[in-house]
Amino acid sequence: MAALYLVVLLLLQCGLLRAAEPQSSEKLNCSPLAGVPGTPGQNGLPGKDGRDGKDGAIGPKGEKGDPGLCERLSVWSVRERGMGARGPPGYPGMRGSPGPKDDSMSLKSEIQQLTTKIALMEKASGFTKFRKVGQKYYVYDGLEDSFDQGIQFCKEAGGTMVLPKDDAENQALLRLSVASGLSGKKVFIGLTDRQREGQFVDLDGQLSNFTKWDLDQPDDYEENDCGTLIVDSGNWDDVGCSDPRPVICEIET
């Protein structure tokens, strides 16, 4: 409004000046004054989107990112379990103590022992007279024969001709002999000096550690070479091998 008023004033001034100017060719110097700039107009609407530009240059390499989920879980798991990295293999452990005894093997062993005992008892019970001596049986079946026939008989019976190995066995043989009605007789024992006179050995050719010779025996009377037990005294005497005498066998496993 003020600008409009100012313009009007200028126009009136110019009109007055023209009316007062002389009618000559000389003109008044009336230069126009510069106006005040108007207020800027409002911005127009945005133009349409331009075309895509060319691909730019490859940018610099970015910084290393944070560990992924799987890696973080792995690290967490190791921390939770208190485990470090896998170490080198350890030294071999010490040998363990023996385990408990195999019951099945123990049972088999017991059954085997029982079977053996039963077989031995069955063999001994086949004789009319028998006596248990330690782990073996002395058996008698009423046979009276020569020394060699006696050896064969005992072998066929699954045993050997009796030969006491200590005083207890000698007493057992004596009791069986008495119980078998052999008092006053002499029972063959597996001892002979046929191979070397004066040296009595068992049927395996071994010297016996136990002997029970009667007084002044063995005397090799009439070249006697076979041993016997004198029933009643229990002492030993060398007699003829061909004479028929009671044959007692021993059976053991």
Q: How far is the CB of 219 from Ca ion (least distance, A)?
A: 4
CB-CB contact of 124 with 130 (8 Å): yes
Range 176-215, binding Ca ion (CB under 5 A):
193
Strands 245-252 and 136-145, by their bridges, are: antiparallel
User: Is the peptide bond between 218 and the residue preceding it cis, with omega within 30 degrees of 0?
Assistant: yes
Q: Which of 166, 220, 232, 252 binds Ca ion (CB under 5 A)?
A: 220
Should residue 245 be labelled a site residue for Ca ion when binding is judged by CB under 5 A? no
Should residue 242 be labelled a site residue for Ca ion when binding is judged by CB under 5 A? no
Q: Which of 225, 231, 236, 246 binds Ca ion (CB under 5 A)?
A: 225
Q: How far is the CB of 224 from Ca ion (least distance, A)?
A: 5
Q: Which of 159, 192, 229, 237 binds Ca ion (CB under 5 A)?
A: 237
Contact segment (CB under 5 A) with Ca ion among 99-107, 127-135, 139-147, 220-228 equals 220-228
CA 182-144-119 angle, 5° bins:
90
Should residue 228 be labelled a site residue for Ca ion when binding is judged by CB under 5 A? no
How far apart (Å, rounded) are the C-alpha atoms in residues 52 and 101?
89
CB-CB contact of 117 with 111 (8 Å): no
Should residue 233 be labelled a site residue for Ca ion when binding is judged by CB under 5 A? no
Should residue 238 be labelled a site residue for Ca ion when binding is judged by CB under 5 A? yes
From the CB of residue 172, how many other CB atoms can be counted at a distance below 10 Å? 20
Should residue 219 be labelled a site residue for Ca ion when binding is judged by CB under 5 A? yes
CA 112-115-121 angle, 5° bins:
145
Q: How far is the CB of 172 from Ca ion (least distance, A)?
A: 23
Cβ proximity to Ca ion, 169 vs 225, nearer residue: 225
DSSP string, 181-209: T-TTSEEEEEEE-SSSTT--B-TTSPBPS
Cβ proximity to Ca ion, 143 vs 201, nearer residue: 201
Which residues contribute to the site for Ca ion (CB under 5 A)? 193, 217, 219-221, 225, 237-238
